[in-house]
């Protein structure tokens, strides 16, 4: 049985979160068949670290993270923030003013237990409570795209 807690990250979580990003991103790249793309793995990890720093430094004004814990262990993350430049550019600015939900990661040992759905529901509630009714999802991973398509149907934009 999980001792699950979903909460905002704290400064003392940074080291464990950075290791969590490394673990899950490396695992995803391997499962996607691109585990040899070491530079891309490092770039992805650094991007997530930067998003986390932006959240903590701006007091959640620029990015907003939630983490899932089983006891003291971080087992999942989700965040939202302004849509990326890539999304804006590739949609001819159609999504420029939307928030983007991303960084939905679940520890490989905890996948398929509903943790991603719990995080997603919690971020929906957070967005709703802030008056944000429309957002976009970002996923470059084939495995995540399958999940989103199953949940929401075909995307409006596929880059």
Residue 154: what pLDDT?
80
- Please give the order of strands across the beta sheet that includes 63-70: 4-7, 63-70, 73-82, 99-106, 135-137
119: confidence class by pLDDT, cuts 50, 70, 90: very high
Rounded to whole angstroms, the Cα distance separating 99 from 137 reads 9
Residue 22 and residue 42: Cα distance in Å, rounded? 8
Q: Is the pLDDT of residue 120 over 90?
A: yes
Please give the pLDDT value at position 95.
84
User: Angle at the Cα of 37 (from 46 to 155), degrees rounded to 5?
Assistant: 75
First-residue to last-residue Cα distance in the chain: 39
Residues 140/84, Cβ–Cβ less than 8 Å: no
For the chain, give the mean pLDDT: 91
The H or E element spanning position 99 is strand 99-106
State yes or no: pLDDT of 139 exceeds 80: no
Cβ partners under 8 Å of residue 108, min gap 6: 23, 24, 27
Distance CA 82, CA 39 (A): 25
Give the mean pLDDT of 43-51.
96
The predicted structure's pLDDT at residue 37: 95
- Least confident piece of the model among 43-47, 93-97, 129-133, 155-159: 155-159
Instruction: Give the whole-number percent of the chain exceeding pLDDT 70.
Output: 96
pLDDT for residue 138 is more than 80 = no
């Amino acid at each position: 049985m999980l001792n699950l807690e979903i909460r905002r990250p704290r400064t003392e979580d940074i080291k464990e979160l950075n290791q969590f990003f490394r673990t899950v991103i490396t695992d995803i790249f391997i499962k996607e068949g691109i585990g040899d793309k070491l530079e891309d793995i490092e770039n992805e990890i650094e991007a997530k670290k930067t998003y986390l720093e932006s959240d903590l430094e701006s007091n959640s004004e620029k990015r907003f993270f939630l983490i899932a814990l089983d006891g003291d262990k971080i087992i999942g993350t989700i965040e939202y923030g302004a849509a990326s430049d890539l999304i804006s550019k590739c949609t001819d600015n159609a999504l420029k003013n939307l928030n983007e939900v991303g960084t939905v990661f679940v520890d490989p040992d905890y996948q398929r237990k509903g943790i991603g759905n719990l995080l997603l529901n919690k971020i929906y509630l957070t967005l709703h409570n802030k008056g944000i009714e429309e957002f976009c999802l970002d996923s470059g991973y084939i495995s995540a795209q399958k999940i989103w398509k199953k949940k929401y149907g075909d995307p409006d934009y596929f880059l």
